[in-house]
Amino acid sequence: MKKVKLGKSSLKTSPIIFGGNVFGWTLNEEESFKMLDELFELGFNTIDTADVYSRWADGVPHGTSERIIGKWMKARKLRDKITVITKGGSGLQPGGPKDNSRDYLTGAVEDSLLRLQTDYIDLYFTHFDDGETPVEEALEAYQKFIDTGKIKHIGASNFSAERLQKSLEIANRKDLPPYEVFQPEYNLMVRDKYEGKIEKICSQNNLGVIPYFSLASGFLTGKYRSKEDFQGQERKIFTEKFLNDRGKKVLKSLDEISEKYNTSQAGIALAWLINRPGVSAPIASATKSSHLKSFTQAAEISLSQDDMEVLNKASKPEEDTKK
């Protein structure tokens, strides 16, 4: 499978990165191992996780996703063949206080290394900006890990354009390690969190871009088309908001283009991201073997300019259409 370079870093990845948030949440350990085996066999070599990924609401231990990935890599003896991405700074659970202080991040990195059962992390992200810690403090913490080889590259996720720009400027001015990859929420339904200022900064600084929620938490698979479809679904809180006129236009466009290529709506949605300016590789999750088919479809499909324009128009944010 053709590999994609992440910005100016030395990292290369498969064209789609697997989102490890499902490990320990919607997939137990046995199911996670099966999914990881199938991914590797298909040629997908990059896994994105975070220290907070687990079924925290039901008491599953903090860091369960990392533990599962680490146990799998050790059992299969595949550490040198897998690109591992993880994150810290999000606090003890999703939605809690963020912390990018030197002491917190130092402990977070060491804990992730232990859970992943590895002596290095390929790409480590500041998960969220806490808005208070001086940006150089996080970079100084990472400097020590980079110097010892425990972290190979660093990235930023969910930063504002202002804080991302400031981080890059200070890294350059103070000779600190710069963020080389950015991870925004970005998909056909959520475009404003990347397009515009963030996209420009990433382009100007040759940052790799790996969007998360690439399928809008499953909405872009086409399986959610009425309120009844959300009943009993884990992802209802993430996806129900997209069931509006704009969402229906996007699904209609995905239906038409997927029929044209005899492929899935998810495959088309991922292919759109792969073809967007500046995007290196989207992050996507799967819970069933059948879902992985959309990964290979997206990696192989070459959308035409007309196809891209249809999707761009259908997904254009409502405020843009009023201008």
The DSSP 8-state label assigned to residue 218 in this structure reads G
The confidence score (pLDDT) of residue 243 equals 87
- Ramachandran region, residue 149 (left: φ > 0; alpha: ψ -120 to 50; beta: rest): left
- 117: its two tokens: 């059962």
Nearest to 111 by CA among 134, 132, 92: 92
Rg, Å, the chain Cα set: 19
How is domain 1-183 classified at the architecture level of CATH?
Alpha-Beta Barrel (3.20)
Q: What is the pLDDT of residues 265-282, one digit of tens each?
A: 999 999 999 999 999 999
- For 175, list phi and psi in degrees, rounded to 5: 55, 50
Using alpha carbons, select from 218, 199, 196, 192 the residue that is nearest to residue 285.
218
Please give the positions annotated as active site: 53
Residue 54 is predicted with a pLDDT of 85
**pLDDT tens across the length of the chain (323 residues):** 899 999 999 999 999 999 999 999 899 999 999 999 999 999 999 999 999 998 665 667 889 999 999 999 999 999 999 999 999 999 776 667 899 999 999 999 999 999 999 999 999 999 999 999 999 999 999 999 999 999 999 999 999 999 999 999 999 999 999 999 999 999 999 999 999 999 999 999 999 999 999 999 889 999 867 666 656 565 556 677 898 999 999 999 999 999 999 999 999 999 999 999 999 999 999 999 999 999 999 999 999 999 999 999 999 987 654 44
| pLDDT for the residue numbered 314 | 98
> Can you read off the two tokens belonging to residue 177?
């390690």
- Predicted TM-score (pTM) of this structure: 0.94
Q: What is the pLDDT of residues 91-111, one digit of tens each?
A: 776 667 899 999 999 999 999
pLDDT attached to residue 223: 85
